[in-house]
A and B are shown apart, each in its own frame.
Chain A
Amino acid sequence: MNKQAATFACAVLALGGILAVPAAHAESPDTEAMLKMIQDLQQELAASKTQQQQTSEKLEALKSQLEENTASVKKVSQETKQVRKDTEDVQRQVVANNVTLASDPPPNSPAGLTVMPFPNALFHMGGYATANYRATTGDEDRAGKINSFLGAQFNPVFHFTYKDFLLAEAELEFEVGDDGETEVDLEYASIDWLATNWLTFVAGSFLSPVGFWQQNLHPTWINKLPDPPAGWGHHGIAPLNDLGVMARGGFGKVGHPLLNYGVYVGNGPQLEFEDGNLAHLGQGSFGLDDNNDKAVGGRIGIVPIPYLEIGGSFEVAQVQGQRNVGPAEDVSGPVTDGQYTLWGVDAGYTMDPWNIRGEYIHAELDSFWSQAHVEDGEPVHTMLIPANEWSAWYAQVAYRLSKLNNPILQNVEFVGRYGQVRASGFEHFVEHAGPEDETTIGLNYWFSSSAVFKSAVSWKDFTAEDNIDATVYRAQFAYGF
């Protein structure tokens, strides 16, 4: 044991000697370099500590910013949840209202068929604009001026609806007259109550449902030719419009035959004077009836197959003889009514590219007593106006090159129309009815479904003695909007 301790002590002394050798060289150049290295390391350590402190400060700032962002995200998320909840509430209310409409229609709703997706009250303005040119040979009074731009028209049509059961509508006509003055006419103005699926009540001034042309084809962007058929239009034989009430509607379903009807009670036709003479049986909308008898008229149309419609029309009325018209006073003689009866038939086939139509109308007015002349300072007596008959018909064929692949030619349309007007009875009625045979051919170009340039030439052969035959060239640009 002592031997081992002695050995251990010797080893320690030897190791101490070995370690003492470098210490004996502490003041050498290597030592100075080592000290300098240590100082450098100490400086680097101090710089690292400074950098670490700055990094820690940045981390603290980022942490603080992250906490703020997290708070904002939570706030936005809560707001989004609230908006979603509000939206779902609104959707539930809308669905609940629709279910109520569909299952429990209000009394005035036509069978609750329509779920109103829009505001209750809606407005829409449509209509059409027209520019005309006409050149003619022959009778200037009958066919117009020899060569003229004429009759620019603007016809706005206003529609106001309330829900799905009420419609107020009116058409105005602004027209530049022959004298350059602007003329304004009210074509119609009515309130329509869509009472049931098949019945609508119309009150006010309305286009006459008698015949097909006046009610459905008179807008210039719909009419295939620049002018109406002979016997239709202003001062024609067919009624234009009336003031009263009408019941109308239709029956049928998609893919089945359809039936439409319209029957009205109105003020009816009245006698009109022109150039000092009883000249017309006016068919316009008279604001004041001149007798207590109301006109009754209507039309029934059947659509047995798509694109084919056949209709029949009638009107009956009492026409009041006139007295004390114009400057004449104390007109002597009796005044009586004349029985007026009108009937007509129409048909149309409109399968693209064909558009074929025809109408016939016949009217009779029994004899009656009336003032027939307007004279100033002369004694005037009523006279017996003889019985009158009018009739008119037309047939029209249009063919559009819509089947061609050419984008220009497929907008071209050819039109041909032939018509007759006949009248007998009181000479002034006959003269103003303008009995004639009219042949018209036309060429149209459609810029869109409702914008068309029309050109046409008409040969008018008048049968009355004082009227000279005429050839009329017309051009028209019409735009429906």
Chain B
Amino acid sequence: MRIWRTTRLAAGCLVAMLAFFAMQQGAQAQDPQQIERGAEAWANNCARCHNMRPVADISPEGWFVVVQHMRVRAGLPGALADDIRAFLTGGN
């Protein structure tokens, strides 16, 4: 069963990788610079796939949902997505 050997190998590598990066992650507390970081993260990451949508295109509630969706789709770290969300919802 070559596929299961490959699967186990891939799963092992993935778990090791996740554990390595997880140890380096820390909760990023909210701070006054969050909106500034969010603006930078918005500019750096959204355009990797598509044009950046103006903030006024979507309501703050809409941005809350859209950022959650894009966090999953683009594989963004949660803290970075929170910074973008703070920027797009005006600090809410």
Contacts and interface: CB of A to CB of B under 8 A. Distances in A.
B67 to A, nearest CB: 10
A118 B78 contact: no
A254 B75 contact: no
Interface residues of B, number: 55
A251 B77 contact: yes
A216 interface: yes
B73 to A, nearest CB: 7
Main secondary structure of the interface of B (DSSP, over half): helix
A159 B78 contact: no
Nearest to A259: B21
Given A124-B62, A199-B18, A339-B2, A255 B69 contact: no
A371 interface: no
A90 to B, nearest CB: 17
B75 A260 contact: yes
Contact of B27 (A112, A339, A480): A112
B47 A196 contact: no
B75 A161 contact: no
B30 A118 contact: no
Contacts, number: 171
A249 B75 contact: yes
Given A122-B61, A339-B2, A216 B24 contact: no
B76 interface: yes
Contact of A301 (B30, B43, B51, B75): B75
Interface residues of A, number: 69
Contacts of A198: 18, 21-22, 25, 77-78
Contact of B48 (A196, A303, A318): A303
A258 B48 CA distance: 12
A326 B85 CA distance: 52
A115 B30 contact: yes
Interface stretch (A60-68, A306-314, A384-392): A306-314
Interface string A186-219: 0000001010111110100000000000011101
A450 to B, nearest CB: 6
5 contacts: A113-B82, A254-B40, A254-B41, A259-B21, A449-B51
Given A159-B69, A254-B83, 17 more contacts: A118-B64, A122-B64, A124-B61, A161-B68, A197-B28, A221-B50, A250-B76, A253-B79, A254-B41, A254-B80, A255-B37, A261-B18, A261-B75, A316-B6, A317-B3, A318-B3, A449-B53
Interface of A: 102, 110-115, 117-119, 122-124, 126, 159-161, 164, 167, 169, 192, 194, 196-200, 202, 215-217, 219, 221-222, 247-255, 258-263, 293, 296, 298, 301, 303, 306-307, 309, 314, 316-318, 339, 348, 350, 352, 446, 449-450, 480
